[in-house]
Amino acid sequence: MLCPAWRKGCAILRPFRRAREVFLLLKFLLFAAVFSSVSLLAAQRPPHATGLVHTADVDVGYETFGTQNGDALPVIAVNGGPGLSHVYMVMNDMWEKVALNRLVVFYDPRGTGASKRLAPTARQDMDAQIADLEAVRAQLKLEKVALVGDSFGGLISMAYAVAHPERVGMLVLSDSAPPAWKDMVHLMPQTFPDIVQEDEMEEKKLGAGSDAAARAGLHNHLRMIFYSPEKRDEFIAKVGAMGFEPAVGDAVSKATEKIDLTADLAGFHFPTLVISGRYDMNVAPLTAWNMAHAIPGAKLVFFEKSGHLPSFEEPERYRKVLEDFLNGREVESALR
């Protein structure tokens, strides 16, 4: 049957109308997909907050990700240094992923980052470091915590565990300093003689003991603590000055140089995980080996493609090992 003449135009236009309908439908579906993806991404980002703990000595700045989640033990992550803020620990989303299932807390050690309001008489010894960590725990009303001590933060965490064992549900020592400074094993001079020489030349040029020399030294230090050159360059590009306060670092180092917690490790009766990058030239893996053997029941995990920061170089495996441990699942240990 032939269409009437006036309908022929409709017939001619009908495919274009259909095409427009298809276009609008595809546009709607694309918008819905993008909106859904954005909503899903937002849903996967844990709640984030910052705050201050006011004490007589210092206002301690802290940052939290996630929320209290049932019986999941909250984590307080204690950063290294000394003299650094916690900024270097959040250069990827590893901790945000951990915080999807539990509260994760960071804080800046006194004199760094958001914790720069110091009383003139404020000390920098280990008792002061312990007091700040305890103040953060108390402010957040956390009955027990899992301490994750990174580098020098491991020494602070061990000291806190000696002073407040009733508050420690679990302990993680991640490329941690040893329990005594005298037992530190650095392999940088033997492994990077070229960078060490550059550092010495820069120090002479900038003036020994100057802030400029200290900051240049930190940059050179970072060049020597990674397994992967690509990860090294990515980290250095992201992290900036790391909130470095040379005077604070010097004060803490001097105030804690004689501390020795070696004998106390045998009294740690909470679950403990010791982590080390296999190629950590800053704190040789022998340190982790010795600590894991000194702590009853400790687990030891080596990261085969990492230097001093396996949480940055192997973040997915790091998260899995950490979460398995925190959730009471079996962790494959290097100890036999």
The DSSP bridge partners found for residue 302 are 276
* E strand spans, the chain: 48-54, 59-65, 75-78, 104-107, 145-150, 168-174, 272-277, 299-303
Distance, CA of 126 to CA of 159 (rounded, Å): 7
Task: Please report the pLDDT score of residue 334 as a whole number.
Answer: 85
Dihedral sign of CA atoms 249, 255, 257, 261 in order: negative
**pTM for the structure as a whole:** 0.86
What pLDDT does residue 43 have? Answer: 55
Question: What is the layout of strands, in order, in the sheet containing 145-150?
Answer: 48-54, 59-65, 104-107, 75-78, 145-150, 168-174, 272-277, 299-303
C-alpha to C-alpha distances, 166 to 21, 161, 162, 233, nearest whole angstrom = 67, 8, 9, 41
- 276 forms bridges with which residues in the sheet? 302
Angle between helices 211-222 and 229-239 (to 10 degrees): 150
Domain extent listing, the chain: 8-42, 49-326
Q: What is the rounded end-to-end Cα distance, in angstroms, of the chain?
A: 88
Is the N-terminal amide bond of 82 cis, ω within 30° of 0? yes
Amino acid 11: pLDDT: 42
Indicate the CATH number for domain 49-326: 3.40.50.1820
DSSP 64: E
As a whole number of angstroms, the longest Cα–Cα distance in the chain is 103
Q: Which tokens belong to 108?
A: 């800046």
Chain position carrying tokens 């000194």: 294
Q: What integer pLDDT is reported at residue 17 of this predicted model?
A: 54
The CA distance from 42 to 38, in Å, is: 6
Cβ atoms of 278 and 304 closer than 8 Å? yes
User: How many CA atoms, within 13 angstroms, populate the side-chain half-sphere of residue 233?
Assistant: 3
How many Å apart are CA 172 and CA 298, to the nearest integer?
10
At residue 38, the pLDDT reads: 39
Is there a contact between 178 and 256 (Cβ–Cβ < 8 Å)? no
pLDDT along the chain (336 residues), means of 10: 37 50 60 47 79 97 94 96 96 97 97 96 97 98 97 98 98 98 94 95 91 92 97 94 91 96 97 98 97 97 98 98 96 84
For residue 238, give the 3-state DSSP assignment.
Answer: helix
DSSP assignment letter at 146: E
